[in-house]
Chain A
């Protein structure tokens, strides 16, 4: 039986219309068009596309994979047509600047669509996802001429884009880049070198591919300060915008890999390809970083999407699969056995998945809103606060969501038992597809270092306040509210623990940077749990209010409360163990000599 996907419209609408309060922002440019009914219509039609066009080719795309022949890549059956439908529907320009043909809608709405696309078909989502990264780099750093030349067709999706960073000898450490960019008399550059693991580097879905390439100009400073960013189109672009001569870049091979098999992961060879400098010389990494932050959030959302679809399928299986009897006696005596849904351990797994998915959705969309505010709010102070929240949450969302997305997919497979381990049910594909999210766009270890080493001390601790202040205010507001005590008390306790740990960590870091490194991953998880606790407590407060004013849908709000309760009692308590681990320090981690391994 193939997997199914149902767009989580009710929950998305809950988060957007009830959890986030968009009313104060209706005057902002992106939000003025995005009235609640428009957002709902977009989610519904977008969800339909994901359910009916993208999901049906998810398993077949995995089975068939991409194929390489003489430097050309063929995507699996149905992908070209699905991409065509996606482009014709205008989905490619959802959040893009209207000046270049986009719809200019809030990032928040873009994140909802990203979640649904990734859930329906993670591989497919790579192609538009990478295009958007390239779009953003040109939009933020390109010259007017470059914007006019490339953005309209990247916005429409007629062309796709890529990000070329990694080389065979350098992944995380981009200072080691060797790809060369030689200046030409006409102002262009000749790009030569090899890039690997380039998603969507070559495919058959669009008439042109715009590569964004990091390379070094001869004589540039060593390391990251000597790297520049270039546009290298697959086909040179004629003055009328049509694709012209073939440029000197080609796909040398594609990788065989564990998951996202319908996404072409390419080795790209640049042989004196014509490139055009984006921004200033030697400032390429900074240009790339704006893309990378968005890509890191996007990666967290991908994992959330996979977690969501894995959970849905595990629930369906748990209802259908009859096996053994409920521990306190048969619940369906007329059937040969009870559905496995009756078993507490199956429930434990499903509740863990659900509490992650719904909590993560709320945290992601709240962060999406801050991203919008950071970009467009007229008040400088609001922009800055919002930006601090985004900066802080980016590594947390990237690492925690992808770790948990992976765990959720694995738990879903566990619910399926042996039926999940075989190919036919499609659940093992979720496990394979989501695994890369823990690795790419900066491994989760790198995210943890980013949080501890860069974000915590940033602006003398001021960045951190973007999180501390609202959580503190929420706890104070609900002090003494007996309905909310079961949520606020555990949150308050974990929140105090987090603050003490931060204080302790700051002290330790001063003495020894390895202490920060040894604590980083556990610390990120601790921070993530408190952030999730915060959004769960807030969701619980809304559910309580709705149940009190009797506004209908009792079942929905009661489920919210039950899931919040599970998070507070069965997931948040992990924070105690994490704090204990962190305080054990670097000693036990580094205790063995390297030679002893």
Chain B
């Protein structure tokens, strides 16, 4: 079985995000970029599936600018066998990403497509679900445990009510949650080896995919600064405070 993992280049989770003064987006100039942490978990899970003898090949995919190849190299250094770079300069919307992954899934015929449950840049959290619909295959989202059993996968999902375990037929889409695993540290010799692994570059046109311009970002603004809290001694004081502020 082949596994396909999609990884996205995002602003590193440690960076304090700054909004551009004109509200057209966030500052990425000179900012540290990394692989979306949820995708890193997807990548790690794929490696574990392969190491357990349940998959033969891992293909890492990214959709983005030229520099997104850095994240593919990270995926290759973690242990992916080869990579596909769909080069696109514009921001990618979930539907476009899902169409691209569908086209690649048709081509590569993976037994499972793994991806983060969301990317930490725009927090859309839709690509996996859309891919499952387009590909017409089962989906297991927010996975915190994945067990393979022949042509089926048993997946524990993190849902509002707690944990839910479902069984899906393969091929399937799995989106990964934070507690699924702890991604490994990349080994130095593997960084060197990754350089020699192949990255195929392709484009939306090559894949016959049309970008979906359904969403338009009209403005980006930082969240309002939080006001300091206040401790109250009693319920009466609480009520009068709320009244003073015109909240009740």
Residues of A within 8 A of B (CB): 6, 9-10, 33, 35, 37-38, 40-42, 44-46, 48-49, 52-53, 85, 88-91, 93-94, 103, 552-553, 555-556
In the complex, what residue of chain B is closest to A10 when comparing beta carbons?
A: B30
- Whether the Cβ atoms of B188 and A553 lie closer than 8 Å is no
In the bound assembly, the distance between CA atoms of A10 and B186 in angstroms comes to 20
Expressed in whole angstroms, the minimum distance between the Cβ of A255 and any Cβ of chain B is: 32
CB within 8 Å for A41 and B185 given contacts A103-B192, A556-B30: no
CB within 8 Å for A90 and B189 given contacts A40-B70, A41-B73: yes
> Mask for B135-163, Cβ within 8 A of A = 1, else 0?
00000000000000000000000000000
Contacts of B185 in A (CB 8 A): 45, 48-49, 52-53, 85, 89
Contacts of A94 in B (CB 8 A): 188
The 3 A-B residue pairs with the shortest CB-CB distance in the complex, in nearest-first order = A553-B30, A90-B188, A45-B186
In the bound assembly, the distance between CA atoms of A33 and B189 in angstroms comes to 11
Expressed in whole angstroms, the minimum distance between the Cβ of A554 and any Cβ of chain B is: 8
The CB with the most chain A CB atoms within 10 A, among B73, B188, B194, is that of B188
Count residues of chain B with CB under 8 A from any CB of chain A: 19
Contacts of A89 in B (CB 8 A): 185-188
Q: Any chain A CB within 8 A of the CB of B74?
A: yes
Q: Any chain A CB within 8 A of the CB of B195?
A: yes
| 23 chain-A/chain-B pairs, Cβ below 8 angstroms | A9-B32, A10-B30, A37-B195, A38-B195, A41-B70, A41-B74, A42-B191, A45-B74, A45-B186, A45-B191, A46-B188, A48-B185, A49-B185, A52-B185, A88-B187, A89-B187, A90-B187, A90-B188, A93-B188, A103-B188, A103-B189, A103-B192, A553-B30
In the bound assembly, the distance between CA atoms of A360 and B147 in angstroms comes to 52
Instruction: Tell me whether chain A's interface is mostly helix, strand or loop, or mixed.
Output: helix
CB within 8 Å for A41 and B32 given contacts A6-B14, A48-B185, A49-B185: no
In the complex, what residue of chain A is closest to B225 when comparing beta carbons?
A: A334
Contacts of A6 in B (CB 8 A): 14
In the bound assembly, the distance between CA atoms of A483 and B194 in angstroms comes to 43
In the bound assembly, the distance between CA atoms of A48 and B185 in angstroms comes to 8
CB within 8 Å for A42 and B188 given contacts A10-B30, A552-B29, A552-B30: yes
In the bound assembly, the distance between CA atoms of A48 and B186 in angstroms comes to 9
Q: Any chain A CB within 8 A of the CB of B61?
A: no
Residue A38 contacts which of B29, B32, B74, B192 (CB distance < 8 angstroms)? Answer: B192
Contacts of B34 in A (CB 8 A): 44
Q: Any chain A CB within 8 A of the CB of B77?
A: yes
Contacts of A93 in B (CB 8 A): 188
Contacts of A103 in B (CB 8 A): 188-189, 192
Contacts of B70 in A (CB 8 A): 37, 40-41
Expressed in whole angstroms, the minimum distance between the Cβ of B163 and any Cβ of chain A is: 27
Expressed in whole angstroms, the minimum distance between the Cβ of A8 and any Cβ of chain B is: 11
